[in-house]
Amino acid sequence: MTVSLGEILHGGPVDAEEVSRVRDVLVFEGAQLRSKFVKFVCLLVLAAGIATFGLLGDSVAVVIGAMIVAPLMLPIMGLAYSVSIGDRSAILSSLLVSLAGIVIAVAVGFVLTLPIARVTNPEAIQQVMIRTSPHLLDLMAALATGLAGAFALSRKDVSDTLPGVAIAVSLVPPLANAGILFALGEPGLAAGSLLLFGTNYVAILLTGALVFVVMGFPKAAASPFDAGARRRAVTIALAAGLLIVIPLSLTSYQLVVANKIATRSYELGQQWLEGSGYRLMSVDAEATDGTVTFLGSKSWLFKEADAPLLGWEVYARKDSFYQENGIALMMDASKQASHTQQVADVITPLQYALDNFLQTASVVKAAAEDFTETYGEDEEALKEHMASSAVPRQPGAGYLEGYQATVLAIKAHESILKNQKVELPANLFELA
C-alpha cells in the first residue's frame, strides 16, 4: 500500500472530521463569528499595547510576550487554508478579519505613542529601528514559519509548538512599530515596518496554502471548490511576493556591502592597534559616520595645533554605559606617567593668551604709527583702518569664552562628585 507525502506529513489521511476541526479553528464564520471576532480584537488590542510599550521601552522580552499573545496569525493561516480549498466565502471572511487586525494594531501603536511623541527619538531605540529595514533573510524566515505554522495547525499532536511559531514570525510588533513611527512623524521608517509585515503576511499565506494542499485538505473538503477563486488568490499573492522581493533585495545588497566594509575595516583596525594596548570592539559601517569603537586602559593628552588657547585636551576611549556611548575620562590623567607622554616646555593656556595679547598690541601700535605717518592725524580714518582686516590680530579669548569655560568646569566637577550625568542647557552659557 502506497502512502502519500501528505499522509506522512499529516500523520494519516485527512478526512471530513479533520477538515471541520481545522476550519473551526481558522475560519471566522457561522454562529460563533461574533464571539470569535470579539476575542480576536481583545487579544489583538492587548498584544499591540504590549508590543508598543515593549518597543518604546527597548525591551526584547516584552516584545516577545506580545508575539505570544497576538492572535493575528489565525486569520492569515485561515486565509491560506481557504485558498487551498478554493472556498470563496472563507477567503473573503479571513481576508477582512486580517485587514481589520492590521488597522487595529497600527492604530493602537499610534494612539499609545501620541502622548510621548515630543520626547521620543526613534533612532535611539534599537527595537524600533531593527524593524524598519527588512532583508531577504526575513523573507526566508517567514517562508519557514508559514510551513511550520500550517504543519502545527493541521496536526493535533504538535499544537504545543504554536507559541514557538508565534515568536518566530513577527506580525504584531511591525504593525505597532509602524503606528509608533507614524505618531513620531516618520512615515519613511513606518513604511519599512509595513514592508516587514507584508513580507511575513505573503510568505505565510503562500507556504501555508502549499502545506494544506500537499496534506490533502482540498480533496477532503466538503465545501464547494472554486478553482477560479483559488487561482486568483494565488496569482495576487505571488505578484505581491515578487513586488516585495525588489525592496528586500535592495536592502540586502546594502547590508552585504556594509558587512564587507565592516569586515575590511575590522582587519585594518586590528593591524593598526597591534601592540597599542587597545582592542577593537566593533565597527558599524551602516552608521553615517562609520563608527569604530575601541576599548583599552590608556588615555593621554593632546593639543590641537590650530587651537592653542584651548590648552590640553583629553584623548580617551569611547565606552558603553547602560544604553549610551560616551567618553571615559580619567582624573589627573596628566599626572599619570603610565598614561601619558612627557611633553617638554609645556605652555599653559594663560601664557598663550598673554603672548597673543602682547603680539596683537605690538601689531596694532605699529599699524597706528604707520597710518599716522602716511595720512596724518585723521582720527576717523584711523579708526576705520584699525577696524579693517588689514591689521592682523592673534586669536584671543574674551569674557564670554572665559565664562563658558568656567561653567563647563563647574558642571564637570559636579558630575564627578555626584557620579551621574548632568544636563548642559544652552542658557547656562549665555550672559544676560
* pLDDT per position as a tens digit, 100-118: 999 999 999 999 999 999 8
Decide the pairing of beta strands 300-302 and 318-321: unpaired
Q: For the residues 37-56, what does the mean pLDDT come to? A: 94
* pLDDT per position as a tens digit, 326-347: 554 444 444 444 444 444 455 6
Pick the closest to residue 171 from 327, 292, 44, 260 (CA basis). Answer: 44
User: In this structure, what C-alpha cell is assigned to residue 365?
Assistant: 601700535
CA count, 13 A, side-chain hemisphere, 90: 28
* pLDDT per position as a tens digit, 279-331: 666 666 655 444 555 554 444 444 444 444 444 444 444 555 445 555 544 44
Q: Which residue has the higher pLDDT, 128 or 231?
A: 128
Q: Are 382 and 372 in contact (CB under 8 A)?
A: yes
**What are residue 327's DSSP bridge partners?**
318
Find the DSSP H helices in 29-72.
33-56, 60-69
pTM of the full structure: 0.63
